[in-house]
């Protein structure tokens, strides 16, 4: 096996998140970065990364959950990379997969991957429970109104007077869709 390149894959779930802590001290030849949910493997930079890496390369990933959120996807991606002769290095877990069919490595991948998936599912369950509890308590979820009560009343009067919804939106500095949302309130 030839000495290959050190390639990095960095992912955060949203634009507001910072990816700088991932792989910051590792000397990489190329880095594939994206700010997108890891809920599935349909990610442009991940696809490009998998196509780019070659036999002898090492793919560096901060942690398993950056590559995949569930065990099945994680195993598929790692298997695909190993078949290409790529070494996969997860730095947080300190695991390296070389394709040498090491039974202990496979077990670690499956256990840690399953625990990560379980943890993600628990977070989603708690989030769902929190939303349901908030709804029961009458807490208004979602974005706060841009307009105050007087402005909403004025908006509805403008609508009843037949003023164009686009013009109403421009008047209040909101979108036409927001005008419709306020009409329903």
Residue 55 has pLDDT above 80, yes or no: yes
Q: What are residue 7's DSSP bridge partners?
A: 30, 59
Q: What are residue 88's DSSP bridge partners?
A: 59, 97
Residue 37 has pLDDT above 50, yes or no: yes
Distance, CA of 75 to CA of 41 (rounded, Å): 12
Q: Say if residue 10 is in the same domain as residue 98.
A: yes
Q: Residue 170: inside a domain, yes or no?
A: yes
Residue 1 has pLDDT above 70, yes or no: no
10-19, 110-119, 173-182, range with greatest mean pLDDT: 173-182
pLDDT of res. 70: 87
Q: Say if residue 30 is in the same domain as residue 85.
A: yes
13 in active site = yes
Distance, CA of 152 to CA of 90 (rounded, Å): 53
What range defines the domain where residue 72 resides? Answer: 6-118
How many domains is the chain partitioned into structurally? 2
Q: Residue 14: inside a domain, yes or no?
A: yes
Query: Residue 173: which region, alpha, beta or left (left: phi > 0; alpha: psi -120 to 50)?
Result: left
- Contact (CB, 8 A) for 163 and 136: no
DSSP 8-state secondary structure symbol assigned to residue 141: P
Q: Residue 123: inside a domain, yes or no?
A: no
The predicted-structure confidence for 97-112, as pLDDT tens digits, reads as follows 988 877 887 888 889 8
pLDDT of res. 128: 92
Residue 149 has pLDDT above 50, yes or no: yes
Q: Residue 75: inside a domain, yes or no?
A: yes
Looking at residue 74, which CATH number applies to its domain?
Answer: 3.40.50.1390
Q: Say if residue 80 is in the same domain as residue 153.
A: no
Catalytic residue (choose from 13, 63, 116, 175) = 13
Q: Say if residue 23 is in the same domain as residue 86.
A: yes
């Amino acid at each position: 096996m030839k000495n290959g390149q050190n390639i990095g894959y960095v992912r955060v779930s949203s634009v507001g998140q910072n990816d700088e802590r991932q792989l910051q001290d590792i000397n990489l030849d190329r880095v594939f970065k994206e700010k997108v949910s890891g809920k599935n493997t349909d990610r442009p930079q991940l696809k490009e990364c998998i196509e780019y890496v070659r036999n002898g390369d090492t793919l560096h990933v901060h942690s398993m959950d950056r590559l995949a959120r569930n065990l099945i996807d994680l195993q598929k991606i790692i298997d695909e990379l190993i078949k290409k002769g790529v070494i996969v290095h997860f730095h947080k877990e300190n695991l390296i997969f070389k394709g040498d069919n090491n039974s202990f490595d496979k077990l670690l991948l499956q256990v840690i991957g399953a625990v990560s998936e379980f943890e993600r599912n628990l977070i989603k369950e708690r989030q769902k429970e929190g939303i349901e509890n908030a709804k029961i308590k009458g807490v208004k979820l979602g974005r706060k109104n841009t307009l105050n009560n007087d402005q909403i009343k004025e908006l509805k009067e403008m609508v009843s007077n037949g003023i164009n919804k686009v013009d109403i939106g421009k008047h209040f500095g909101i979108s036409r869709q927001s005008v419709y949302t306020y009409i329903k309130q």
